[in-house]
Structure 1
């Protein structure tokens, strides 16, 4: 037994000779890349323009003293761009704090698959990053420094993650989910659209619908609100209408959208949506208090208008051939012939009919008694 222990100790000691040390660099020898932008190169066809926004550590962020550096590099691949950028800085680039990838609109309308695949493969990139479509270019969006930004490059991601703001026009998307949708059959990817203005303000109020590789359609602000109403539960937003010439605005408290795919009759398939909304009457031009009868009329008016708008949006998406809400995935998950079900769905989707029933209930008129 003693000999066995002696041999084990000797073997462990010898194994230490084959261990290599770690190549560790202190934090003061690192530059943290917080976001990456990709644009199409205008000067060099066939090449892309990569932008790297680098946050420089500078003590307490509460002081408001933020330092950042934006480096751009044109190259045929992002791996080559990173190697060339390393020759322009004096410290090691660290991608462990990279929170997002901004695809310029021109690049996003071509093919983002190569870059998205790189972000998934690279070992130090987070799968919880926030991708987005940058308008007019990714470089312009990353250059923007809103006055409210305290940490370099953080304003975009506080908005996209909804940690700093909550908006019915922001469609939160994670990098891992974007990659999943790009490979998933029956559900197409989406990305929020980030626009910058001359006033250094970031405007995020649209959503881009994609096929498996590129952006095909960008919904406007109102369509984005309705898309999020269908995709999310308990969306906090407002809706407005006019009753007898008087403006009324409600603020939603609870929302829920459910649907069923009805395939009982061949050639007459439908998707039946039921949307339930609980709201509070927030704004009213007429100071007179509503009686129960008038309140029901207001609810019916809101329900009718929202129903028409949602149906119009669904038909618009249907014409593009895209399926961002995952109708095809639902159909495949509720049918059992794996060899033919997706072919059946692709043949069915272009002519399927939408029935939308909205029931909006106003639980409070805002009057105090």
Structure 2
């Protein structure tokens, strides 16, 4: 039995039409030479009510080789009433498509902190081409001044801000790395507050300094953390890198280099008793510097001095958090997760947090006095 050719053509044409609808067209694809990559974004607040946002983009300029790259970066700046409109207008300033696939740092100016950051980060979370693992930071005095700084150590194939936050370049206990997704979660979650690192550029724009942080407690003014407080926050948050402790006992002054540290805490509530937050810290290290001869037989004594010093510093920082009704370590989240006897556990926690006392126990173990005998 022969089947007419016309009857065979119909299913073939239907299949071809269906495949043409399924397969994506090539109109949205652009070659790499038609794109320019955005490395970081800066957001500043202006005094213009009609155009309150100033957006700065740091772009990587492609080159044939590292030796030929005299101009490594270029910058685009635009003021607008929204981020979306600013970026669309900035597209008209270059002859290539702006590619945000490599954007890994978002810097906020100081003035932005006095506005709702949850609404501001909403834009970056909605865009599918911006990574949620991008780092957030505060630029002082402005985000634009930080982005336009070009350290002498910055190479054409890298970005100085990437090396600061990804822990593959510099390792420091004074540096805090905060991801976009984690910042947004802490802004919405009750019982924990986000902390952002603070970036400062030198006057000659050849150096970027990051050794402090800002605590953004909900419905409170930003709380600035000194370098020492930033280091202790990293210690309590189990994010310590190359921690140092300076101990002064009478005429003895020495510095301990901590190699490993671990922190645990527990919230103790008993009927008819004042609530207590018990925080235990264990650390190990060696003596790195001293103004006197260090006796290896007195390592236990030196360890006790270091333990008391850190206990005093941590207690003072926890008290500062409590007085400002801030909770960057997530004590409230822990309480809500472990106390399910009532529906409104967070309301109960806020009352307890104002009355809680801190029991800090630090066990520092100094393993040696260094290689000096």
Alignment TM-score > 0.5, same fold: yes
Is 1:136 equivalent to 2:153 in the alignment?
Answer: no
CA–CA distance in structure 2, aligned partners of residues 367 and 216 of structure 1: 44
Cα distance per residue 1:234-277 (max 9 Å; x no partner):
54211111233132111001111111101013460010111111
CA–CA distance in structure 1, aligned partners of residues 295 and 277 of structure 2: 36
Identify the range of structure 1 (155-164 vs 71-80) with the bigger mean alpha-carbon deviation. 155-164
1:34 corresponds to: 39
Q: Is the Cα–Cα contact under 8 Å of residues 296 and 369 in structure 2 kept in the other structure?
A: no
Q: Is the Cα–Cα contact under 8 Å of residues 39 and 105 in structure 2 kept in the other structure?
A: yes
Give how far 1:359 is off. 1.1
Give how far 1:139 is off. 0.4
Compute the RMSD of aligned alpha carbons. Answer: 2.4
Is 1:313 equivalent to 2:323 in the alignment?
Answer: no
Give SS of 1:87's match: helix
Q: How does 1:113-132 map to 2 (within 5 A)?
A: 113-132=118-137
CA–CA distance in structure 1, aligned partners of residues 229 and 176 of structure 2: 12
Is 1:171 equivalent to 2:176 in the alignment?
Answer: yes
1:340 corresponds to: 344
1:325 corresponds to: 329
CA–CA distance in structure 2, aligned partners of residues 251 and 278 of structure 1: 8
Give how far 1:297 is off. 2.3
CA–CA distance in structure 1, aligned partners of residues 43 and 222 of structure 2: 18
Shift of the 253–107 alpha-carbon distance from structure 1 to 2, 3 Å rule, reads same
Give how far 1:12 is off. 2.1
Shift of the 214–317 alpha-carbon distance from structure 1 to 2, 3 Å rule, reads closer
CA–CA distance in structure 1, aligned partners of residues 184 and 265 of structure 2: 25
Q: Is the Cα–Cα contact under 8 Å of residues 45 and 111 in structure 2 kept in the other structure?
A: yes
2:203 corresponds to: 198
Length-normalised TM-score, structure 2: 0.91
2:189 corresponds to: 184
Give how far 1:211 is off. 2.7
CA–CA distance in structure 2, aligned partners of residues 331 and 59 of structure 1: 56
Give how far 1:181 is off. 1.0
Is 1:301 equivalent to 2:282 in the alignment?
Answer: no
Is 1:49 equivalent to 2:54 in the alignment?
Answer: yes
Match of 1:224 among 230, 233, 241: 230
Shift of the 8–177 alpha-carbon distance from structure 1 to 2, 3 Å rule, reads farther
* Structure 2 unpaired stretches of 5+: none
